[in-house]
Chains A and B, each alone.
Chain A
Amino acid sequence: MTSLLETRGLTMRFGGLTAVDDCNLGIREGELFGLIGPNGAGKTTVFNMLTGVYTPSQGSVSFAGRDLRGLGPVRVARLGVSRTFQNIRLFDELSVLENAMTGAHQHAHCRLFDSLLRTGRHHREEARQREIAYRLLAFLGLEDRAGLPARSLPYGHRRKLEIARALATQPRLLCLDEPAAGMNSGEKAELAGLIRRIRDELKVTVLLIEHDMRLVLGICERIQVLDYGKTIALGTPREVQQDRKVIEAYLGAEA
């Protein structure tokens, strides 16, 4: 089975620090894949390399058969990789609806000239973006807050809005960076259901970084464990849970 996203020997060095060392990922189309590891294991750095924010020091990233190395975030997004951020990065002064609409901007079928003269193409584009945005807000249960400024949303809803915005780019792969951080157990359960529905109903492959082990073990089909930038385990939730190296990394080695 070929992978949708594949990395070979992915390495990132910041000066003398090797944040990610020789990381090999293979994510299949339609999969719910978890990337876990203790704090500072290099998970977010992997995300930044996958989405073009960082150019890897070494190694390759290929997505649907195309090399992503050095493309930069804009072109990577256009190819169908989208993400959320660990520290939420919404456009606070835009409304909830407008935030979701910005995700659809990259596929806009209208030029600046159309918008300045309000041609038919401008109106069709606005309608298209609004339709996509409303559909995704409804999917995430935010439709009744569409008109509010994003900054006024409570924390849990901000996380959801980031997911809606990322989905509006119509990605094939959605990377979620600790979406459950700061949520209570009820919200986490809801989120788990939501992530599953993103994969099942929207047919988007999901790569999940998460600290909350229960969430990851509960919904992911395969899990890869990083520690100090190196992969220490890869397998189903059950296999990973029983892996001695994983237990050591999380709980410390036996004396």
Chain B
Amino acid sequence: MLRALGILCLGLAGAFGLHLVVSNAVPPYPALIVNMCGISIILAISLNVINGLTGQFSLGHAGFMAIGAYVSAYFTTTLRYFDPDAARYISEAPLFDGLWGFPPALLAGGIAAALAGLIVGIPTLRLKGDYLAIATLGFGEIVSILLSNFRAVGGTKGLTSIPGYADTFWIYGSAATCLILTGFLQRSTFGRALIAVRENELAAEVMGINAARMKITAFVYGAFFAGVAGGLFGHLMLTISPANFGYMKSVEVVVMLVLGGLGSSTGAVVGALILTVLPEALRDVERQVELSGFRMALYALLLVVMMLFRPQGIFGQRELSLKLLRRLLPSRDKPGRQP
């Protein structure tokens, strides 16, 4: 446990280091992209637990993200002590104000999304494959429609003037925590049980693994971090609206996973990085060829080429680790093939 806490602290320290670099030496626009990368990383790793490890096809990740974003933004902007007798707010400032209010607000967003994950997890017990994809897609759309029609959170205009609490430290601290905890999950009896459900559900059940419970666990876990990512997104962009969390957002995260290698957390990180940076990097190319829309066409072409030549994704199901690196690099002390 001490070692685990040490690794987590190391992750947070790394995030802080990155924060120092980004806040001091990186201009605002690239810094925004760096921060968006962190949020994409959290989304991709958490979706990988559902789609990659457990083998459920969820297209509802943007829905969980939206719930987290709205709940945490509601906490930091609107929620105040209310005096019912005088029918007025007691305090002027929101209840979760300032930097100390931010982590609880993020956590609340994550927990709200996890509860939604619990609710969405239940139909997965009866639905498989394409059918589950459609059901989760429907869930995402329902969330976005509900938010559009909910006056208290701004309707289609959404919430505005959210405080910009989400800096590089919070974003990459959350990403590191998500990556480390998911790594621990993968290499535990629960991770093996999730993979067993993916590989062969009947055999898993006959071995006494409760497939229903494992699937719901995956949904709750994945939804929690999607909610946290949503909360970070809101406090980074300063405004959120239902349009930010349409089904294309869910599809984008699925594409990150498939590109990186479905089932690999480190693959998810790489996929998230590529698919967040690439559209921005291609902006310059587009400017040079002076052909509007060229950027997205090239982006799509790259994905098609990737799927043709490496359909299992960059990493396949492998994880990037020191052991793998050592194996890939030629080592000199290995016995050669000379007679």
Provide the bound-state CA to CA distance between A83 and B207, in Å.
8
Provide the bound-state CA to CA distance between A224 and B204, in Å.
29
**B190: Cβ under 8 A from any A Cβ:** yes
- Tell me which of B189, B202, B208 contacts A110 (CB under 8 A): B189
Query: Most A CB atoms within 10 A — which of B3, B206, B317?
Result: B206
Closest to B8 in A: A117
Query: Most A CB atoms within 10 A — which of B189, B190, B193, B200?
Result: B189
Contacts A115-B188, A120-B1 given; indicate if A165 touches B195 (C-beta within 8 A): no
- Interface readout for A70-109 with B: 1 if CB under 8 Å, 0 if not? 0011100110001101000111111000100111111110
Contact-size category for B: 20 to 34
| Contact yes or no, A91 B208, CB < 8 A | no
- Tell me which of B5, B195, B207 contacts A77 (CB under 8 A): B207
Query: Most B CB atoms within 10 A — which of A93, A115, A119?
Result: A115
**B263: Cβ under 8 A from any A Cβ:** yes
Chain B residues within an 8 Å CB radius of A231: none
Provide the bound-state CA to CA distance between A34 and B191, in Å.
36
- Interface readout for B15-36 with A: 1 if CB under 8 Å, 0 if not? 0000000000000000000000
**A125: Cβ under 8 A from any B Cβ:** yes
Closest to A88 in B: B203
Chain A residues within an 8 Å CB radius of B199: 90-94
| Contact yes or no, A93 B317, CB < 8 A | yes
| Contact yes or no, B181 A93, CB < 8 A | no
A147: min CB distance to chain B, Å: 11
| Contact yes or no, A74 B208, CB < 8 A | yes
Provide the bound-state CA to CA distance between A105 and B200, in Å.
15
Chain A residues within an 8 Å CB radius of B188: 115-116, 122, 126
Chain B residues within an 8 Å CB radius of A112: 185, 190, 217
Q: Give the contacts of B65-95 with A (CB-CB under 8 A).
A: none
| Contact yes or no, B208 A94, CB < 8 A | no
Query: Most A CB atoms within 10 A — which of B4, B209, B263, B317?
Result: B209
Provide the bound-state CA to CA distance between A108 and B191, in Å.
13
| Contact yes or no, A91 B200, CB < 8 A | yes
Chain B residues within an 8 Å CB radius of A72: 205
A168: min CB distance to chain B, Å: 8
Chain A residues within an 8 Å CB radius of B149: none
**A64: Cβ under 8 A from any B Cβ:** no
| Contact yes or no, A98 B203, CB < 8 A | no
Chain A residues within an 8 Å CB radius of B203: 85, 89-91
| Contact yes or no, B202 A125, CB < 8 A | no
Provide the bound-state CA to CA distance between A194 and B188, in Å.
31
| Contact yes or no, B200 A90, CB < 8 A | yes
| Contact yes or no, B208 A78, CB < 8 A | yes
Chain A residues within an 8 Å CB radius of B317: 93
Chain A residues within an 8 Å CB radius of B5: 117
Interface of B is mostly: helix
Closest to B203 in A: A89
Provide the bound-state CA to CA distance between A116 and B179, in Å.
11
**A55: Cβ under 8 A from any B Cβ:** no
Contacts A90-B200, A98-B192 given; indicate if A73 touches B185 (C-beta within 8 A): no
Chain B residues within an 8 Å CB radius of A53: 202, 205-206
A174: min CB distance to chain B, Å: 12
| Contact yes or no, A105 B202, CB < 8 A | no
- Tell me which of A108, A118, A129 contacts B4 (CB under 8 A): A118
| Contact yes or no, A118 B207, CB < 8 A | no
Closest to B208 in A: A106
Chain B residues within an 8 Å CB radius of A94: 192, 195-196, 199
**A51: Cβ under 8 A from any B Cβ:** yes
Chain B residues within an 8 Å CB radius of A91: 192, 195-196, 199-200, 203-204
Closest to B206 in A: A73
**A169: Cβ under 8 A from any B Cβ:** yes
Provide the bound-state CA to CA distance between A73 and B196, in Å.
15
- Tell me which of A101, A102, A129 contacts B204 (CB under 8 A): A102
Chain B residues within an 8 Å CB radius of A85: 203
**B299: Cβ under 8 A from any A Cβ:** no
| Contact yes or no, A51 B206, CB < 8 A | yes
| Contact yes or no, B189 A169, CB < 8 A | no
Extra A-B contacts (20), CB below 8 Å, given A74-B208, A115-B184, A116-B188: A74-B205, A77-B205, A85-B203, A90-B199, A90-B200, A90-B203, A91-B196, A91-B199, A91-B204, A94-B196, A105-B189, A105-B208, A105-B209, A112-B190, A112-B217, A115-B185, A115-B191, A117-B1, A118-B3, A166-B207
**Shortest Cβ-Cβ A-B pairs, 3 listed:** A106-B208, A77-B208, A115-B188
**Interface residues in chain A, defined as those with a beta carbon under 8 Å from any beta carbon in chain B:** 51, 53, 72-74, 77-78, 82-83, 85, 89-94, 98, 101-108, 110, 112, 115-120, 122, 125-126, 129, 165-166, 168-169
Q: What are 16 A-B residue pairs whose CB atoms fall within 8 Å in the complex?
A: A53-B202, A73-B208, A74-B211, A90-B200, A91-B203, A91-B204, A93-B195, A94-B192, A94-B196, A106-B208, A115-B185, A116-B185, A117-B1, A122-B188, A126-B188, A169-B207
